[in-house]
């Protein structure tokens, strides 16, 4: 069987497509708003730089050397304790769990593309009641668009690495960047731009408690798609002779700049036309549409383009969330791609319906435990626990299990003298930092 491989550009765009997602445009601005901006953004940026980048290289290396699904790659590469290390690959399950709520949110976005064409809410109150009605009582609209998201994602997966994933990313990622940059240029021309810069970059350290810290670190993993085998699985189809460090750099660079661009743009719009940085998941669905309304006709155009870009970001990430388990069933159980894609698709689709219902009045009560409903629990457990834990496993695996000569042979030529610093950070700094996060997590949950 001929093995499909990404082209060089195809790989970078697919991995960046995985990284750039709802996390960048939907989640990042609202959690930054929730934790007061500046200080939170700085913790997040530092994590990306100091920990994220080195784990990105490590995760790429596992895929690149392993050439198989996550479980098999871990198993093949581990010189000892294969049966134990193989569990590192089951992190791929986290992707399916994330898809449970991710697909529902993509559904909301589809719905907003359609409604923004003809109508924008004339006030935050109207926007809030529109969003809340959809969220808490409109099962059918949500179900319809969740189904559409499921069909799209599953279809692309059935087409495989080249004809599905690469092709989609080659079209959607550049389009997304053009849309965002165009809207960003407009934001820069507005008076409120400097207030947005101020909000995002002047730190108020009093806002940072252990909860904010854990959220920032968890988000760094989530946004870079680290710790669950998406990057690993894509890297298994990287061209031979690729430069992992340059690839990792591009992915981290694109992901971080798109988050910053989106954040600055949204906060500018919210300062200029709305009520300032809003908090909570409703930011792009409530405050933003009301701000678009204030812009006049151009607001409708912007709204449609914005939600399109958001949908593109979400869809390109979704396929990478499901692909690790698809690849697992293909490699380990010789399932056909069709069967693996449809089965995994159905998994997140059906449980996604439970997540959707956990926001609906009448069902909500039965699907809420403690302070979170099922939807929020899945989000919290995956982003704050599973991904950082997965990242830690990858760092330890490359740092301690795979023979140093092997790692060095692959990466010294690319990293040069930085190799020693990278290796040291992977072995000691990253695990210690992750351990501290885990400890504060114990307090938080
Ligand atoms: N990075 C994606 C986002 O920011 O929305 C989400 C994600 C994709 C997380 C793939 C993890 C992953 F493996």
What is the pLDDT, as a whole number, of residue 391?
87
230 lines ligand 1 (CB under 6 A): yes
What is the pLDDT, as a whole number, of residue 215?
82
- For the residues 201-217, what does the mean pLDDT come to? 83
Q: What is the pTM of this model?
A: 0.94
58 lines ligand 1 (CB under 6 A): no
What is the pLDDT, as a whole number, of residue 211?
80
Over 90: is that where the pLDDT of 381 sits?
Answer: no
Comparing 112-121, 166-175, 197-206, the range with the smallest average pLDDT is: 197-206
Each residue of 9-41: b (16+ CB within 10 Å) or e? ebbbbbbbbbbbbbbbbbbbbbbbbbbbbbbbb
24 lines ligand 1 (CB under 6 A): yes
Atom of ligand 1 nearest to the CA of 387: 11
Question: Residue 151: which pLDDT band, with cuts at 50, 70 and 90?
Answer: very high
Atom of ligand 1 nearest to the CA of 227: 13
What is the pLDDT, as a whole number, of residue 442?
64
Residue with the nearest Cα to atom 9 of ligand 1?
225
Question: Residue 147: which pLDDT band, with cuts at 50, 70 and 90?
Answer: very high
- For the residues 254-281, what does the mean pLDDT come to? 88
Longest dimension (CA), the chain: 64
Q: How far apart, in whole angstroms, are the C-alpha atoms of residue 365 and residue 217?
A: 31
What is the pLDDT, as a whole number, of residue 385?
80
251 lines ligand 1 (CB under 6 A): no
- For the residues 327-342, what does the mean pLDDT come to? 97
Q: Helix or strand or coil: residue 372?
A: strand
Query: Could you tell me which residues come within 8 angstroms of residue 285 by beta carbon, excluding any fewer than 6 positions away?
Result: 108, 112, 127, 131
The runs of H, that is alpha helices, within 225-274 are 230-235, 244-273
Please answer whether residues 311 and 52 qualify as being in contact, where contact means their C-beta atoms are separated by less than 8 angstroms: no
256 lines ligand 1 (CB under 6 A): no
Domain ranges of the chain: 8-441
- How far does the centroid of ligand 1 lie from the alpha carbon of residue 352, in Å? 17
Comparing 86-90, 183-187, 387-391, 398-402, the range with the smallest average pLDDT is: 387-391
Q: How far apart, in whole angstroms, are the C-alpha atoms of residue 405 and residue 30?
A: 44
Q: Helix or strand or coil: residue 373?
A: strand
What is the pLDDT, as a whole number, of residue 154?
98
- How far does the centroid of ligand 1 lie from the alpha carbon of residue 39, in Å? 23
116 lines ligand 1 (CB under 6 A): no
If one compares 373 and 437, the residue with the highest pLDDT of the two is 373
Of 37, 29, 23, 25, nearest to 201 (Cα)?
37
Over 80: is that where the pLDDT of 438 sits?
Answer: no
Kindly state the tokens that stand for 218: 């968890």
Q: From residue 360, how far is each of 112, 136, 143, 365, 394 by CA, in Å? A: 19, 4, 12, 9, 38
Mean pLDDT of the chain: 92
Mutate to test the pocket of ligand 1, among 16, 19, 394 (most ligand atoms within 8 A of CB): 19
Q: From residue 414, how far is each of 61, 66, 420 by CA, in Å? A: 12, 19, 12
Query: Could you tell me which residues come within 8 angstroms of residue 365 by beta carbon, excluding any fewer than 6 positions away?
Result: none
What is the pLDDT, as a whole number, of residue 167?
97
- How far does the centroid of ligand 1 lie from the alpha carbon of residue 225, in Å? 4
Comparing 81-85, 145-149, 280-284, 286-290, the range with the smallest average pLDDT is: 280-284
Q: Bridge partners of 369?
A: 372
Specify the DSSP class assigned to residue 239.
P
Comparing 4-8, 155-159, 169-173, 349-353, the range with the smallest average pLDDT is: 4-8
391 lines ligand 1 (CB under 6 A): no
- How far does the centroid of ligand 1 lie from the alpha carbon of residue 18, in Å? 6
What is the pLDDT, as a whole number, of residue 217?
82
Question: Residue 44: which pLDDT band, with cuts at 50, 70 and 90?
Answer: very high
Atom of ligand 1 nearest to the CA of 26: 5
Over 70: is that where the pLDDT of 153 sits?
Answer: yes
Q: From residue 104, how far is each of 149, 349, 386, 418, 433 by CA, in Å? A: 8, 9, 20, 42, 33
382 lines ligand 1 (CB under 6 A): no
Q: Which fold has domain 8-441?
A: Hydantoin permease (1.10.4160)
What is the pLDDT, as a whole number, of residue 105?
95
Question: Residue 441: which pLDDT band, with cuts at 50, 70 and 90?
Answer: low
If one compares 274 and 254, the residue with the highest pLDDT of the two is 254
Q: How far apart, in whole angstroms, are the C-alpha atoms of residue 339 and residue 1?
A: 18
What is the pLDDT, as a whole number, of residue 384?
75
91 lines ligand 1 (CB under 6 A): no
- For the residues 433-442, what does the mean pLDDT come to? 74
Query: Could you tell me which residues come within 8 angstroms of residue 191 by beta carbon, excluding any fewer than 6 positions away?
Result: 272
Per-residue pLDDT of 214-244, as tens digits, reads 888 888 888 999 989 999 999 999 999 999 9
What is the pLDDT, as a whole number, of residue 436?
78
130 lines ligand 1 (CB under 6 A): no
Residue with the nearest Cα to atom 12 of ligand 1?
225
Of 261, 195, 208, nearest to 39 (Cα)?
208
């Amino acid at each position: 069987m001929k093995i499909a491989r990404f082209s060089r550009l195809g790989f970078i765009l697919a991995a960046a497509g995985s990284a750039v997602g709802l996390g960048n445009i939907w989640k990042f601005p609202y959690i930054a708003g929730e934790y007061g901006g500046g200080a939170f953004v700085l913790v997040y940026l530092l994590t990306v730089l100091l920990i994220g980048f080195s784990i990105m290289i490590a995760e790429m290396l596992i895929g690149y050397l392993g050439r198989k699904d996550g479980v098999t790659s871990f198993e093949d590469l581990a010189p000892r304790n294969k049966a134990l290390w193989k569990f590192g690959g089951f992190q791929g399950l986290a992707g399916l769990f994330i898809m449970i709520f991710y697909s529902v949110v993509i559904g909301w976005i589809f719905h907003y593309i359609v409604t923004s064409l003809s109508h924008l809410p004339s006030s935050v109150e109207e926007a809030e009641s529109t969003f809340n009605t959809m969220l808490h009582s409109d099962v059918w609209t949500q179900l319809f668009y969740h189904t559409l998201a499921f069909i799209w994602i599953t279809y692309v997966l059935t087409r495989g690495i080249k004809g599905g994933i690469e092709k989609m990313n080659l079209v959607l990622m550049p389009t997304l960047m053009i849309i965002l940059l165009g809207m960003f240029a407009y934001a820069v021309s507005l008076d409120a731009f400097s207030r947005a810069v101020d909000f995002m970059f002047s730190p108020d350290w009093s806002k940072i408690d252990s909860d904010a810290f854990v959220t920032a670190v968890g988000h760094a993993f989530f946004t870079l798609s680290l710790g669950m085998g998406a990057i690993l699985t894509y890297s298994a189809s990287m061209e031979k002779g690729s430069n992992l460090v340059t690839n990792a750099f591009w992915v981290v660079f694109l992901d971080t700049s798109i988050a910053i661009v989106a954040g600055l743009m949204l906060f500018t719009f919210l300062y200029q036309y709305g009520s300032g940085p809003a908090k909570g998941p409703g930011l792009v669905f409530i405050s933003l549409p009301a701000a678009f309304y204030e812009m006049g006709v151009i607001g409708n155009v912007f709204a449609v383009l914005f939600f399109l870009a958001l949908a593109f970001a979400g869809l390109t990430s979704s396929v990478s969330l499901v692909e690790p388990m698809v690849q697992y069933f293909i490699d380990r159980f010789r399932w056909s791609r069709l069967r693996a894609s449809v089965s995994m698709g159905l998994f997140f689709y059906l449980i996604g319906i439970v997540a959707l219902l956990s926001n609906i009045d009448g069902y909500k009560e039965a699907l809420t435990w403690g302070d979170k409903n099922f939807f929020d629990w899945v989000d919290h457990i995956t982003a704050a626990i599973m991904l950082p834990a997965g990242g830690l496993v990858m760092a330890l695996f490359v740092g301690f299990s795979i023979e140093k000569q092997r790692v060095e042979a692959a990466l010294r030529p690319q990293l040069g003298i930085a190799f020693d610093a990278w290796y040291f950070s992977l072995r000691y700094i990253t695990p210690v930092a992750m351990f501290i996060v885990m400890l504060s997590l114990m307090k938080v949950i």
